[in-house]
Amino acid sequence: MKNLFLLFPLLLILSGKVSAHPMAPGLWAMNEQTPGNFLVIWKTSLKPMPGIRLTPVLPEGCISNSQLTGNQEGTGQVVQWTTDCSSIDLIGSEFRVEGLDGSPSGVLFRMKTLDGNLYHQMLSSDDPAITLSPAPDALEIMWTYVVSGFDHLLSGLDHVFFVIMLTLLVGWGRQLVWTITLFTLGHSVTLSLTALGYVNFPVMLVEAIIALSIVVAAAEVIRNDSKSLFRRRPWLMSGGFGLLHGMGFAGVLSEFGLPTNDIPLALAAFNIGIEIGQLLVIAVFIVIWKGILKIKSDWSSLSQQLARLTPAYAIGAVAALWFWQRIGLEPLLAI
């Protein structure tokens, strides 16, 4: 337990400078309520980049009403209104975001129609507009969701850090296979249940516990106690916390959306993308780690121990900061 207090100085140094999902993209969602009439949801960061103002631009012929409703949702500001696009043909129409030039993050455009079709694209400074085309086929849907799952795993440092801590905890043998398999099963179950609406937990609570799971894993690496429960049965940690990480994945998937007519395919593809990203993280980490250990064949056991503990302390400190931020106690770090 005393090792946990060693994380505090690092936590102070890192305060305010690290984010689990840096420069999170905005969201422009359009959900068809009645034929041609859409509920528009525009979500942007509460802390926009200075000098950057993003504005959604609808096609000519879409008539928006002036009744806007706004509220705060997590770390974003959400504005909603309705628009009537019944006078135009959506296929071939262009939806554009102005102000993306110079913006380091993009905006996820998502449109869901009454017939179950789902259109989405990440709009960026290089590609600030989407022109709607006929509904994608099964292969296009699968590829889109594989890429989405892969991108989220690699861009979500909290998930990457947890996988790295599991690898440091159990090494790279057969036990790692079982440990990662249980993590996969855990997050796959809750990802599906949450995405389908059977499970619902507060987003900030889930994100806070995900950060705490990394702290616990880092503490186990630091303790290096062969008699501890998680050291003897690491699958308990990976499977249990995997259930929570699945809810985190589902939060991203809920913004990305699921095609009504191809939900099983989209869920499976998103999970496959996550697994590809997960395996890539493990493979790259093992290659780098083995390379470090081979720099000097005569490293002392103390040097090797420091090489193992350094990432554990660093990642544990960052995760502790995230936990404080997500439960609303970050201001206490400045006292």
Structural contact between residues 105 and 24, judged by C-beta atoms closer than 8 angstroms: yes
Q: Give the start-to-end residue ranges of the domains of the chain.
A: 26-135, 148-334
pLDDT of residue 8: 42
* Calpha distance 153→26 (Å, rounded): 18
11 backbone dihedrals φ, ψ, rounded to 5°: -60, -40
pLDDT of residue 277: 93
Pair of tokens at residue 164: 């790295």
- Alpha carbon distances (Å) from 174 to 126, 170, 183, 212: 44, 9, 15, 26
Structural contact between residues 120 and 246, judged by C-beta atoms closer than 8 angstroms: no
E-strand spans in 58-158?
A: 63-64, 69-73, 76-84, 94-98, 107-112, 118-123, 129-131
pTM, to two decimals: 0.73
Q: What is the crossing angle of helices 138-155 and 234-256, to 10°?
A: 120
Q: Which residue has the tokens 């470090």?
A: 292
* Calpha distance 122→139 (Å, rounded): 19
* Calpha distance 229→292 (Å, rounded): 29
pLDDT of residue 312: 92
pLDDT of residue 330: 53
Q: Please give the distance of CA 106 from its chain centroid, rounded to a whole number.
A: 15
Residues 6+ away with beta carbon under 8 Å from 204: 74, 326, 327
* pLDDT beneath 50, residues of the chain: 1-17, 22-23, 331-335
